[in-house]
């Protein structure tokens, strides 16, 4: 590995100041399960000059709930979220999503903030410098998304792709999107629907997550999270679905259905939501909604099969 500076921050303000000091050439480190791999494989030309450690800031690893909802610190490890009785009881979609992240060892190391901000798993983006040289794809400042003419069978988009067709990788973000979470940073509060853009997220160079806030679901809300993968463990989703569907008086009062792995960002299946809102749930309606979820799909050469997977997972979520 190339040399870099490691700075321990003791307050949120100090961490922000340290990030600003390096003018975009610094990165936050918490669990380190993603950023250290990025550095070791030397996949980026803009190699971080410094890592700002936020594990030394007290109070960022708490899980609490009150009348206003659930509050999660960015340093909560994924395993704690998956096993927390309060999360499992009132926000089971999030607990399930956390429990599906990677392996048990990595869930003990990885943090919520890191999982939300992880880089995409596209193999062109991730290709190591030491194996023949990195691909200068559009996400890294190049002029081409290599997945479009190349190998795109697994971790690439079928909808919403623009300059980059990498699929969105975070499991917890899909559940949190369905649960209408808010991302709080050292500068502002951002609805999770506005947090992600095609090439990453909206964080400034001196900005990082300080809290995640999740409202308490309304009475009558059924939550689910499921994902389809190549392997049963230690894998990213080909397609994932998070849902929060509220039924009142026998009909759907509101619905939030979000897909992962099918677009560069968490993909709100608004077509599916509209199809079931105001209706009594039936198997036929769930089938219709599953098709509506990916009605705008434009798959690449090797991943059209994801359309059927998405339809099926959305149907199952609605019928749960």
- pLDDT average, residue stretch 2-21: 95
* pTM to 2 decimal places: 0.97
Q: Is residue 251 pLDDT above 90, yes or no? A: yes
Token representation of residue 303: 């991943």
- For all residues of the chain together, what is the average pLDDT? 96
Count of CA atoms in the C-beta half-sphere (13 A) of 225: 25
Q: What is the pLDDT of residues 307-317, one digit of tens each?
A: 999 999 999 99
Farthest CA pair distance, the chain = 62
Q: What is the pLDDT of residue 46?
A: 79
**pLDDT confidence bin for 56, thresholds 50/70/90:** very high
Q: Is residue 294 pLDDT above 90, yes or no? A: yes
Q: What is the DSSP letter of 156?
A: B
Q: Is residue 2 pLDDT above 80, yes or no? A: no
Q: What is the pLDDT of residues 147-164, one digit of tens each?
A: 999 999 999 999 998 899
- 64 or 1, which is more confident: 64
Q: What is the pLDDT of residue 18?
A: 97
Q: What is the pLDDT of residue 96?
A: 98
Distance (Å, whole) CA 206 – CA 16: 5
From start to end of 215-294, where are the E strands?
Answer: 221-228, 239-248, 251-260, 267-268
Q: What is the pLDDT of residues 224-240, one digit of tens each?
A: 999 999 998 789 999 99
- Quick check: 150 and 123 in contact, CB under 8 A? no
Token representation of residue 197: 């853009």
Q: What is the pLDDT of residue 162?
A: 86
């Amino acid at each position: 590995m190339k040399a870099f500076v490691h700075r321990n921050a003791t307050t949120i303000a100090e961490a922000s100041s340290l990030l600003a000091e390096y003018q975009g050439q610094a990165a936050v480190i918490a669990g380190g399960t993603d950023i250290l791999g990025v550095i070791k494989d030397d996949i980026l030309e803009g190699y971080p000059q410094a890592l700002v450690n936020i594990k030394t800031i007290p109070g960022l690893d708490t899980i609490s709930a009150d009348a206003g909802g659930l509050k999660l610190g960015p340093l909560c490890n994924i395993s704690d979220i998956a096993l927390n009785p309060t999360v499992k009881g009132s926000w089971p979609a999030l607990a399930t999503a956390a429990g599906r992240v990677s392996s048990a060892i990595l869930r003990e190391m990885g943090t919520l903030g890191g999982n939300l901000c992880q880089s995409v798993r596209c193999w062109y983006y991730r290709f190591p410098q030491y194996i023949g040289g990195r691909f200068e794809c559009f996400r890294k400042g190049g002029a081409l998304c290599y997945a479009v003419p190349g190998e795109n069978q697994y971790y690439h988009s079928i909808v919403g792709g623009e300059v980059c067709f990498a699929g969105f990788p975070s499991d917890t973000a899909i559940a949190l999107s369905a649960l209408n979470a808010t991302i709080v940073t050292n500068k502002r509060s951002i609805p999770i629907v506005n947090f992600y853009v095609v090439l990453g997220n909206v964080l400034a160079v001196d900005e990082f997550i300080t809290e995640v806030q999740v409202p308490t679901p309304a009475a009558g809300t059924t939550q689910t999270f499921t994902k389809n993968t190549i392997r049963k463990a230690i894998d990213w989703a080909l397609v994932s679905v998070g849902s929060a569907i509220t039924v009142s008086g026998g009909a759907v009062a509101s619905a939030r259905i979000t897909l992962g792995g099918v677009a560069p960002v968490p993909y709100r299946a608004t077509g599916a939501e509209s199809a079931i809102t105001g209706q009594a749930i039936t198997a036929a309606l769930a089938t219709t909604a599953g098709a509506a979820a990916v009605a705008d799909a434009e798959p690449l050469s090797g991943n059209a099969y994801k359309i059927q997977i998405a339809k099926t997972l959305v149907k199952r979520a609605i019928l749960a």
